[in-house]
Amino acid sequence: MKTVRRAGIVIKPHAPGVAEVIAGLTAALEARGITPVLERAAAEKVGRADGLARESIPAACDLVVVLGGDGTFLSVAHSAARADVPVMGVNLGSLGFLTEIPLAEMTLALDAVLSGRTDIISPRMMLSTTFREKTELTLNDIVFNKAAKARMIHYVLSVNGLEIAALRADGLVVATPTGSTAYSLSAGGPILQPSVPAILLTPICPHTLSFRPTVVSSDSVIRIEVRTPGEEVYLTLDGQRGGEMDSEGIVEIRKADHVLRLVTSPQRRYFGLLQEKLRWG
């Protein structure tokens, strides 16, 4: 990991006490000879006028620190992956699988990163989604969902050019191992270790009960063809971006060339995180 000279700060604006956390983090960075680069919302919280647009932060920094929850983290993940900048998530939200570092451990984790510890940098596979000739990066999942009053979605699912299923369901989740603990888990999918080279296909309330969550190789090319004329179908990327699909649209998904470098806690490992977040006892 290259030397950190500039660290970006991205926040959940309405998190309780976030202004004090920004001030403390800014002071900690400056004490270590690092220039803080604040997004606009963060700059406003501490009375500064030099904030940048959130999407510009990763390209301007050597490290991004997210103060908030997983939604805040996901909002910057795709731009951080393109810039090849590690992201450290400090949990000011609720569950926090991506923002796994507790506020009390923020300085400890920061010092571990600055010391060059590579064992706490976890490379996370991302997915590349092509739709309407536009390609987007996702860290967690791509979700196909019907509108509130729409009938079930009819879609054809193909893997590596082979049609494997024609299904009717309320939707479909295509998830990375990182995203296996998000929407896919709620829909009955398995938990995958982040290092597993796989893509998870999880139907949402399928009419065909025999079609269960399916794990395919990360080298697979997945094609989803929606065949639901006259119905509203929505495509959502990481719960942050997306929109309404054509009622007979086609989406192609594959492993992205980019990875996200996630700063993990120096105090716990992945299964310890699962025990804590999922209350496994």
pLDDT tens track for 211-254: 899 999 999 999 999 988 767 889 999 999 988 887 668 999 99
Per-residue pLDDT at 247? 64
Per-residue pLDDT at 150? 67
Percent of the chain predicted with pLDDT > 70: 98
**Least trusted range by pLDDT, from 31-35, 142-146, 195-199:** 142-146
- The domain 6-120+264-278: what is its CATH number? 3.40.50.10330
Per-residue pLDDT at 249? 85
* pLDDT value at 179 more than 70: yes
> Domain coordinates of the chain in residue numbers?
6-120+264-278, 127-257
* Residues tagged active-site: 70
Average pLDDT score over the chain: 93
In tens, the pLDDT along 30-54 reads 999 999 999 999 999 999 999 999 9
If pLDDT is split at 50, 70 and 90, which confidence band does 118 have? very high
* Residue 234 β-bridge partners: 145, 244
CATH for 127-257, options being 3.40.50.1460, 4.10.95.10, 3.30.70.100, 2.60.200.30 = 2.60.200.30
Per-residue pLDDT at 276? 83
pTM of the entire predicted model: 0.93
Query: Do the domains at 6-120+264-278 and 127-257 have one common CATH topology?
Result: no
Mean per-residue pLDDT for 117-141? 95
If pLDDT is split at 50, 70 and 90, which confidence band does 124 have? very high
**Least trusted range by pLDDT, from 9-18, 33-42, 95-104, 109-118:** 95-104
